[in-house]
Amino acid sequence: MNHNKIACIGEMLIDFVCTDIGIDLKNGENFLKKAGGAPANVAIAINRSGGQAKLATKVGLDPFGDFLMETLRPDNIDMSGLARSITPTTLAFVALQSDGERDFTFCRGADAELAWQDLPNDFLDDVGIVHFGAATGLLDGELYSTYRRLLQEAPQRNIIISFDPNYRDGLWGDNPQEFITRCRPWFHQADIVKVSEEELAFLTGEKTNEKGCEQLHQAGVSYVTVTCGHRGTWLSHRSGRQQLVPSIAIASIDSTGAGDAFIGALLQQIAKPDCQFDNYDHMQKAVLWANVCGALTCTRFGAIDAIPHAAEVNTCLDREA
């Protein structure tokens, strides 16, 4: 059996995006319904980049849940791990600031209930990479238990582990140290960790990317990718090799989903048969490709709607060459 699929686990939700640009949620009045959730965004990016994603999530038996399932179908996401619940679908409200950054608040619902027994017995049989997007996955609930069980199962099957802490003040603002504590088992097991510069400083207490990455490598991480906005991505390997992989110049209008598009595209590149995960040069090329995918996502409004297809990324790279 081929083990070329990439499993993504966590929330799929409705983003209600405030269309009053530059106004926070307190003062926003107009909202647009969009499909979202970091693991779902990553799964879409994987498939649009030419890979094969399967998604483990839970949505409500409500119109929002129906809408989310219909959103996945055109991209041929494997939905064998998608469950339904009488609990309403999770909702997120997002305000976009004038610089393209975001203001979040969550109304958590069905995603919290995803239990290990909701997954098919053969869910991991054709999986080569499992990606944990921790926006809500480390909060108390059944999903957190499923995360921990999956973290135990993956190494026993020689599955590559990808982890994106995806820290949100709105979820952990009262106890940020608990979030850091809950991340540690993933740092011990993860083969690749994706963080922003702000997250790296927050998680490690270090002021430079070099020192922050060194701390994660000491914990057990093989590769750390630090997204640095328009500058590109800092790629660091436990061997000591590290560099800034440049991005492309774009006019950013909405950064929602850009990090998810980046890691989804990167995992798709890693899953290709000709990519050697332990080869730093291969990883550098994969990060360059993923940078373009993330950058192009910033040029459009929304998350899933904005994620580009492989042909567009390749065209952009050809133009830059």
If you search the block for the tokens 């774009």, which residue do you land on?
250
Q: Which helix (H) or strand (E) holds 196?
A: strand 192-196
pLDDT band at 1 (very low <50, low <70, confident <90, very high): very low
Tens-digit pLDDT profile for residues 20-74: 878 888 889 999 898 888 999 999 999 999 999 999 999 999 999 999 999 999 9
Tens-digit pLDDT profile for residues 121-176: 999 999 999 999 877 899 999 999 999 999 999 999 999 999 999 998 878 878 89
Short-list 217, 301, 223, CA closest to 257: 301
Averaged pLDDT score across all residues of the chain: 92
What's the average model confidence in pLDDT over 298-303? 80
Q: Which two tokens stand for residue 157?
A: 């099957």
Which pTM value belongs to this model?
A: 0.93
Question: Bridge-partner residues for 93, per DSSP?
Answer: 16, 105
If you search the block for the tokens 């979202």, which residue do you land on?
36
Decide if pLDDT at 311 tops 90: yes
Max distance between CA atoms of the chain, in angstroms, equals 53
